[in-house]
Structure 1
């Protein structure tokens, strides 16, 4: 990645935190010693959340692009796909306006609406569910996207559907469950506290009661990628470092080319979100030797270095051979087949998460990777790579692709009067 522009983004801000709200309200006064310990735990840092004041806990909401894409990846994610139940264009537009206002407030550590939960009249239904009151913002980001099915005949948006916004094709080996695929809308809520992330998507869904219905949802923990050079490389449930070669937000030129849309349409400055729920067949994987596992990945399990090298960031020796035994990096290793050189320069920004959903009827873990990638061109930067992997990747023996979805995420918001989808609705007249 040498030679790329690596200017870092400022993620500062000075909003009032939820903790400040409770302190001002005097909550916790008069607690005994045992109660004080409980209050400190409730108001203090959560597991997985860096300590610090409210200023370091916020991500700017307004900007050229939506937050939650190139933002330094948080530790937790709650993803919700929804179908629109109303046929009213005006109701859909107004809901997006409401969502924008609520998400902007929550990203600042405030209730979704003023006095939305603890301050509401006791005889009124609360607009905010309240489970995030007292918690820090935890770098919450909320990212919204529009699925291909939103551009049917219901809302007069068909003429504005981007050419590349089509359902992802069926790839070799797919075992897609339609019940956990696709959707009219999506909400991606990411934070360093799972309760903050779930709260954000839950409140927005509640605000859309009668207008939208949840089609499916996925909770993710433990990021499986780094989106900033300030972050270390995490491990996935296979025990390997994941996303070493991922795009980073500091790689400005590559991000502009492979993540942001530049077409002069309402999507200009936006990005396409591609999601795949990948079940990992962990019981099979755990029976493999370390050497066999490393040959599947093309990297060592300890350091994450390319086979034949010492350090994670060492260049992949794609053209070196084991004498007469074959290439140093096996021909069907995941790292070789997923690389930019193997895909005509295609790249994507990954923001995946681990998941565990219990066990199946055989007592095997229902667990794996919820894969999310942001790309400027689904055709060139995602479909081409996934097609290559689906046909040749040795890792296919140990994974099962169970869901598929694509959403067009509009650009960011210029000011506090702007709202998600405004450009779309203004152009689709």
Structure 2
């Protein structure tokens, strides 16, 4: 990995391409086709892109039961335990509706209502991501969403990975479909003969999934436009080089565009980590992917002070941030922008990916400056409650009418005044 000094005024934030015009046009064409031809288009693109021609887009109950036979019992129990921990964490995010009555009889409040339906996109094809199922479905389930749909691209055999089906079943999903890419997003947004449309789409995917989500936003809600995975490690000379190297590689192996960055005040640590990365990369199964990601998007920065290092972290606003310093809690208070923050050497990032409890669906590409991890709030909406009393309208009515006239809205003012004479 490249080692460089953290220069003042030089941004370390990267810009990720939002897709080429050709990719955007391809996504739009697929969406339009699915809207017009429904299931026929879904089957066409599934065969074209996934090499599969499943008998049914809908997963039957027998397929779910069969999936359990292909996942080791101890792994099923691990999925169950992870699901329990994720559920417990998100139950603490629940907020009740509320109303309060003032002395004049006015009632103000907020009604919190779950979304009616959501679609969870789970990446697939050559890999299985049961963790994505749990991290998206369980917050929606806790929020009270009635209809939760999972959709994922099948393998060449026309099936979904058994672990994905098991995770979906454990999470309580009863509606699972075989389709991927922009076509799956279109089906969720607009519906087909087999798949009913949903109110919101969440879950990560490739560039075509991301572009399709961008295209359908407004007709349905989406969680975010997720970019490649990121990790930043903030460390001093108390940290262990081999552990930092392993953590950087844990993200680099995700994707050719994954970003792994170490920011430290220790030059000796920087050198040791660089050597450890080379050593561990050499024996990594996905070394080609990880090596390319580190070459293009990996770096080690040496700061003059911890304050300068923290400022760089806040500018980067990483998806994952590990704080490996002598006193991580003291540093935590100065971190303003990060998707998920891991404190201390035993809080390695994969703990959050699979088991700790918070959803691993996090803002990327600097959007942690204004976005939050996926949670219960993402699957609920809020309605304001207003019940004005006659006494309150008599007291405030002339002021409200005056404010309306300030904006040139005479009918607004008269809507208030027509009631004042009757109180």
Q: If the length of structure 1 is used for normalisation, what is the TM-score?
A: 0.25
Structure ranking higher on relative contact order (CA contacts 8 Å, 6+ apart): 1
| Larger fraction in helix | 2
Which of these two proteins has the greater Rg computed from alpha carbons?
2
Q: If the length of structure 2 is used for normalisation, what is the TM-score?
A: 0.26
